Amino acid sequence: MAFIDYYKILEVDKKATEAEIKKAYRKLARKYHPDLNPNDKEAERKFKEINEANEVLSHAENRKKYDDYGENWQHAEEFEKSKQQRQYHGNGQQGGFGGGGFGGGGFSGGGDFSDFFESMFGGRASGGGGRRSAQFKGQDFNAELHLELKDVYTTHKRTLTINGKNIRITIPAGVENGQQIKISGMGGEGSGGGPKGDLYITFTVENHTKFKLDKHNLYATVDLDLYTALLGGEITADTFDGKVKLTVKPGTQNGTKVKLKGKGFPVYKKEGEFGDLYLTYQIQIPTNLSEKEKELFTELATLRKS
């Protein structure tokens, strides 16, 4: 039987980190998963190879033994026995890898391993003599949900159809654009008694309101007529969830900002907590003045200069 290059199967370098190996495995396992490639014998073969490679490279002890012996794997058992004997005589007790195969047979996946794997690692269940059945987690599903900003102002429920199944989910208030949530066990069926996969939902939140959102704060402009800005008064302004009355001070300048505490956007998963609303006054200069209005403004300008 030939040596199998597990690094090549997972398409990673021999110096790859644990995180890089995990990422590569997930990518390839998703690509060749039987659920996504029904009746495809080649994909099934690749899927088994990928899982076998992951059995070795994702476990520190397995990977070390594989790296230590590599193409000299035929002599691994002899070297291991020699190592155990040295530990026995040196420590006065049995050491090393135990008597039941490499690492006690504690592999996380398993089943349908190649002869190379069986010869090098054992791959037997710790309590029996046969191969363990393959247990693989089901395929993870990914979905994208498009929402309007007003949709995520309050917590609400929504029904999604994923792979022909209706799934009822709760969308918490304050979900942000690009945010992803995980719903455990809502993915594909596992194989060999393995757990179901998970469902990952990415939210795309579009803002078609007049309010600008920055984190949890909202920003908007409010038109203010010249006379109210000069003399003061009361106006009605829009907030995200209704209208409020505001008192305008006499002599209010263009660009003046007003902060309305707690009138911003809800904070994700913090019930009753909101950002603030910032309103900027934008003074409207009157146009198309009548002759009488021009006369009065001229008189006013003269009084201001005297």
Query: Among 143-147, 159-163, 173-177, 237-241, which is the least confidently predicted range?
Result: 159-163
The arithmetic mean of pLDDT across residues 32-60, rounded, is: 86
State the Cα–Cα distance between residues 259 and 249, nearest whole angstrom: 14
Domains along the sequence of the chain with CATH = 6-121 (1.10.287.110), 141-206 (2.60.260.20), 212-305 (2.60.260.20)
State the Cα–Cα distance between residues 213 and 92, nearest whole angstrom: 70
The pairing of beta strand 257-260 with beta strand 156-162: unpaired
Q: Helix, strand or coil for residue 219? A: strand
Q: Is the pLDDT of residue 228 over 90?
A: yes
The arithmetic mean of pLDDT across residues 77-84, rounded, is: 50
The pairing of beta strand 141-148 with beta strand 199-206: parallel
The arithmetic mean of pLDDT across residues 45-56, rounded, is: 88
Alpha helices in 92-209 (DSSP H): 115-121
Q: Is the pLDDT of residue 176 over 70?
A: yes
State the Cα–Cα distance between residues 106 and 126, nearest whole angstrom: 8
Q: Is the pLDDT of residue 90 over 50?
A: no
- 3 or 261, greater pLDDT: 261
> What is the percent of the chain with per-residue pLDDT over 70, rounded to a whole number?
80
The arithmetic mean of pLDDT across residues 59-80, rounded, is: 69
- 139 or 103, greater pLDDT: 139
Longest distance between any two alpha carbons in the chain, whole Å = 114
At residue 94 the predicted structure's pLDDT band, cuts being 50, 70 and 90, is very low
The arithmetic mean of pLDDT across residues 209-230, rounded, is: 96
At residue 106 the predicted structure's pLDDT band, cuts being 50, 70 and 90, is very low
Contact (CB, 8 A) for 188 and 141: yes
> What is the percent of the chain with per-residue pLDDT over 90, rounded to a whole number?
46
Contact (CB, 8 A) for 2 and 116: yes
- 214 or 62, greater pLDDT: 214
- 66 or 78, greater pLDDT: 66
State the Cα–Cα distance between residues 123 and 135, nearest whole angstrom: 13
* Closest to 220 measured CA to CA, from 193, 262, 162, 260: 260
- 3 or 253, greater pLDDT: 253
The arithmetic mean of pLDDT across residues 239-251, rounded, is: 95
Q: Angle at CA 152, nearest 5°, toward 151 and 158?
A: 70
Q: Is the pLDDT of residue 125 over 80?
A: no
State the Cα–Cα distance between residues 199 and 189, nearest whole angstrom: 12
